[in-house]
A and B are shown apart, each in its own frame.
Chain A
């Protein structure tokens, strides 16, 4: 079945780095844009990054621009989120989510979500 499985979360020191991975299965990965959405403890959802289906363009929330990098490897059906210079406010569960419509160049409807991976920024 269609599935997204995140990994790579954990405790990271302020100013450190961490790479999250999201392995996709059950659909033609290379046809869909992918997103990272985070949820701070007890808070709502915040979209932080999107990458086009072919990896040729990406977008970021202002809060992470210049520190986070989204990438994908269509040969491995995997999307990544590189987190550099994290801050306390980056502490959250990070979800990867698939775009509903194929071949779109901006995100819209997110139809499949993973179970999330927790990132805790602490010294």
Chain B
């Protein structure tokens, strides 16, 4: 069982917006602004999409945005495209250990 909880799957049509939630506790998401989001295509390593809750690394599309409220972080993808179909993972710094914790992952399907 993962430390952070994500929905197993979400779906949307091209052009729509979707949001993936990531729920933790006061020891991780709720206590620190160190939430990251990663995208992973099958057979590939993850790619950083969002860090520090809402910052985008250079080169990541502005269609990707992050936010946090209490113990829940969210990733929003606007203007959905076929290439967005992938697995998405959240992670957070945690006070209960010294390694980052990950969510169980969410499979995004573009209909």
Residues of B with C-beta under 8 A to A56: none
User: Taking chain B's interface residues, is the majority helix, strand, or loop, or is none over half, making it mixed?
Assistant: loop
Bound together, the chains give a CA A70 to CA B29 distance in angstroms of 27
Cβ of B48 under 8 Å from chain A: yes
Residues of B within 8 A of A95 (CB): 45-46
Tell me which of A45, A48, A49, A100 contacts B89 (CB under 8 A).
A45
- Please determine whether B46 and A100 come into contact, CB atoms closer than 8 angstroms: no
A-B contact count (CB 8 A): 67
**Of A48, A106, A109, A116, which contacts B98 at CB under 8 A?**
A106
**In chain B between 39 and 61, which residues have their CB closer than 8 angstroms to a CB of chain A?**
44-48, 51-52, 57
Report which B residues bind A (CB closer than 8 A): 2, 34, 36, 38, 44-48, 51-52, 57, 89, 91, 93, 97-105
Residues of A whose CB lies within 8 Å of any CB of B are: 35, 44-50, 59-61, 95, 97, 100, 106-116
